[in-house]
Structure 1
Amino acid sequence: MKFKRQLTEEVNVNLTPLIDVVFLLLIFFMVSTTFTKETHLKIDLPQASAEPVDAELLVIDIAITADGQFSVNEQPLVNTQLDTLKRAITQAARNKKELPVMISADAQAPHQAVVTAMDAAGQLGFVELSITTRNPSRESESR
């Protein structure tokens, strides 16, 4: 007796649904991730009494440590002289005077260092200046 041979189908695994799920997970994690600004300098910011302001994408960030040392866009300066600070701001701005200048001073930083940073920005023609603070913690509000 001769049996008719059945044709065997090639077995395939359909990866399309798996790829769809992987892309959905990728999109979910990209959307739900929070980004934080990391700095190399330890700065204890003073507490804020106003509402937070949206951060700009292109800013000149001047950080001032507790001992009065300057850093422009996370690049530490060699000294605290006004001319050095002005040169660093000019290099960071690349002739864009409309960029906002953000000063992040430690709560223990000398006031003269903050005034020097404000003077340098003003002398170079920057008009949009902001000073960053931190929100008060819940513990200090309950006291």
Structure 2
Amino acid sequence: MKKKHFRDEEDASIDMTPMLDIVFIMLIFFIVTTSFVKEEGLEVNRPDSSANSNSKAKTVSIWIDERGMIYMNNRLIDSERVTANIQSFLAENNTDSAVIKAHKKTKHGTVVKVLDQAAEAGLHKLSVVVDN
């Protein structure tokens, strides 16, 4: 007579240890390989709520049209002479701010170039306005 071995209750369990090991190794890999880089951008200085908005000081007004032509105080100027024109304006007027108004089709490079030249001329408070 043959003996039959029957198990009434089978253990149906899965060993989770290898899977947890792999998850922790992957976690360590992603933490180590991630680089934390501070991205650079434009610094925006917002005015204080207590700032006097009715100041009588003259500001430099620069307009850039859709073709990239630059106008300073309603006068056409050369794109390479923005710094010199601002410095001559500053010699006559005591101000440290400028408003740069650009057409919406103006190339960003032109606006940034004008911003850089205005900062180089000594203006510290620069505002950019986009015309719709």
- TM-score interval for Structure 1 and Structure 2 normalised by the shorter chain: 0.5 to 0.7
Letter in 1 for 2:70: F
Deviations 1:88-132 (A, max 9, x none): 111222265643100010000111110011001111221111112
Structure 1 Cα separation of the partners of residues 55 and 67 of structure 2:
27
Alignment partner, residue 64 of structure 2: 64
Greater strand proportion: 2
Percent same amino acid at aligned positions? 19
Partner-residue secondary structure (3-state), 1:67 = coil
Q: Which structure: larger Rg?
A: 2
Asked whether the equivalents of residues 59 and 100 of structure 1 are also in contact (C-alpha less than 8 Å), the reply is yes
The answer on 1:103 being equivalent to 2:100 is yes
Q: How many residues align?
A: 80
RMSD: 2.5
Contact 1:59 1:101 in 2 (8 A): yes
Q: TM-score, normalised by structure 1?
A: 0.48
Unaligned runs of 5+ in 1: 1-53, 137-143
Structure 1 counterpart of 2:102, which letter? A
Q: CA 1:95/1:127 → structure 2, altered by over 3 Å: closer, same or farther?
A: farther
Are residue 126 (structure 1) and residue 123 (structure 2) matched? yes
* Structure-2 separation of matches of 1:91 and 1:97: 11
Indicate the structure whose relative CO is greater, using CA pairs within 8 Å and at least 6 residues apart. Answer: 1
Change (3 A) 1:70 1:104: same
